[in-house]
Chain A
Amino acid sequence: MALTHNEVLAGIREIVEEVAGVSPDQIEMDKSFTDDLDVDSLSMVEVVVAAEERFGVKIPDDEVTNMATVGDAVNFIVRAAS
């Protein structure tokens, strides 16, 4: 079943809050994981693994490095799930 950008963003907000303790209202599409949300490279792995489970997609390690912003992650997951 195809996922919408809003559905994925809502899921990412929950995951990032759970993994890194970031308040969901700070988590917008244009925010950088490392610079704005203080999600470091290891927390990013935890976010990615949780997102894989939640959305039933596969996110390879080399894609993780390309996911600079929340929007990058949301767009990748929407594409991968379609």
Chain B
Amino acid sequence: MANIKDREFARHSRIMSVGVYRPKRVVPNSEIIAAIDSSDEWIKERSGIHSRRIAGDDESVISMSVAAAKSALERAGITAEQLGAVICATVTYPFQTPSAATDIALQLGAPKVPAFDISAACAGFCYGVGLASDMVRGASAEYVLLIGVEKLSDFTDPTDRGTAFIFADGAGAVIIGPSAEPGIGPTIWGSDATAREAIMMEPSWVDLRDPESLGWPDIKMQGQTVFRWAVYQMAPVALEALAAAGIAPEDLDAFIPHQANERIIDAMAKAMNLPERVAIARDIRTSGNTSAASIPLAMDALYQEGRIRSGDVALLIGFGAGLVYAAQVVQLP
């Protein structure tokens, strides 16, 4: 019997850089409230959101991704030709096929690279970190470009009181590459598919053919169900990711959860009993909920605010439609 030769893969992985793209237009609550018969105060109380970025016609899933990716590549000090894979986490690329990742790779000048999208909604970025890390450690790729991007404004009903003030647009990208020391801890991930109807796009694309259909597909959300799941099921997952990485809460520098709602972030931090010194990302206040893009955007914001620096240890957790979740501890680039 012949022996199969495998690649050598005695190595670790790390996040080498982060780059973001924030849409140009800032939309304050005052522009949202008329359509949902609400107020600035009501939105702030329920979500912590003061304003969000909404992409214009000239800012697409692809253009935002390419801008974020270029910044991440530059900061990592590598070129697009060196990439071993492009992974795009999104639920708002408006084409069933081909993938957003292939167009991003093309625009970056790397049209030969393995490229694919993942559909894990607000957990997409952390799903991607886990996948990319394993690809690097398994030597299927030297450098992986991972993008979390959403143009949720294309799939949000501006009159839906449960979502109109929450969802927003943006892109974040990271380069994940090899490392002599562990830079990404074990990913704790899974799903709670029995609650998959808690966040749904409705109707389906096929239903759109029916003239009596409900109209354009929008993302609907059962707020209370999602809040309960996020706070009380996700806090233990986050703590499990910490334990799996061998990091004590006292040694954690930053907590960068998916920016779903500031109330969820507060309740999670309380349930986890995080020490005061941990920097908690609150980019939601000026970015809204950008699903797969929210964690890299929030990471970038923490750097801008001077609350984290390279080498710090951060806990990431993404959770969303599916319901799906993933968490890991990373060393910040």
Residues of A within 8 A of B (CB): 40-42, 44-46, 48-49, 61, 64-65
Contact = CB atoms under 8 A, between A and B. Distances in A.
B82 interface: no
A60 to B, nearest CB: 10
A3 to B, nearest CB: 23
Interface string B270-306: 0000000000000000000000000000000000000
A40 B227 contact: no
Nearest to B198: A61
A45 B46 contact: no
B222 interface: yes
A41 B224 contact: yes
A64 B224 contact: yes
Interface of B: 45-46, 222-225, 227-228, 231-232, 261, 263, 267
> At the interface, is chain A mostly helix, strand, loop or mixed?
helix
A67 B265 CA distance: 25
Contacts, number: 28
A48 B46 CA distance: 17
19 contacts: A40-B45, A40-B46, A41-B223, A42-B224, A42-B227, A42-B263, A44-B224, A45-B224, A45-B227, A46-B231, A46-B267, A49-B228, A49-B231, A49-B232, A61-B222, A61-B224, A61-B228, A64-B224, A65-B224
B231 to A, nearest CB: 8
Given A40-B45, A44-B224, A48-B228, 13 more contacts: A40-B46, A41-B46, A41-B223, A41-B224, A42-B223, A45-B228, A45-B231, A46-B231, A49-B232, A61-B224, A61-B225, A64-B224, A65-B224
Contacts of A45: 224, 227-228, 231
Given A49-B228, A49-B232, A61-B228, A42 B46 contact: yes
A60 B261 CA distance: 22
A49 B224 CA distance: 11
A56 B227 CA distance: 21
Nearest to A48: B228
A40 B44 CA distance: 13
A80 B165 CA distance: 36
Contacts of A65: 224
Nearest to A46: B267
